[in-house]
Copies of this chain bind each other. A is one copy, B any other.
Amino acid sequence: MRWESVGETTCSVARALSVVGERWTMLILREAFLGRRRFDEFQARTGVARNILSARLRALVRNGIFERIENAPPGDHVQYWLTAKGLDLYPILVAMLRWGDKWMACEGGPPVELVHRECGYKTRPTLVCSHCGSKIDARTTTPVIRAIPAQRRGGASKARTRLNPPRRSE
């Protein structure tokens, strides 16, 4: 299977990855969420090669993540603005930030912290249940398959695996 066809799956994760799953794309988006909007800014901040950046930006515009604005003041430069669809990628970025902070920490603590402007305090955004409001993790959540996602091979006989969420001993 080629990577380009993961977006044609019925899986929402795969579809999301078809938009943001390429190398550099999330780093470009990181810069966008930090307020950068120009080609050369993205290039200098992320270190991505210019041709790759060009291709990624084009794809992101095509996928409705960025809006490309020419002749934008000040200076009439080209600018890339996050759309509502793009802004909505924020939780993915934050989830990566939090995991990186926890498991790949630099010496001296996380280089970026978030402030929640509504309450004014530093925040470490957390995933909670939309129903009961308590914290969510892999152990306390069960996936329920609704549509059968196109079995690749027919072999669903005795080797059928259970769809239980993972539970380790530790």
Contacts and interface: CB of A to CB of B under 8 A. Distances in A.
18 contacts: A10-B106, A12-B112, A14-B27, A14-B30, A16-B104, A17-B26, A17-B96, A18-B104, A20-B96, A33-B166, A34-B165, A41-B161, A45-B152, A88-B137, A91-B136, A92-B99, A116-B132, A121-B132
A61 interface: no
Interface residues of A, number: 110
A13 B106 contact: no
A128 to B, nearest CB: 5
A99 to B, nearest CB: 5
Interface of A: 1, 3, 6-7, 10-24, 26-27, 30, 32-36, 41, 44-49, 64, 81-85, 87-106, 108-119, 121-134, 136-147, 149, 152-153, 155, 161-166, 168, 170
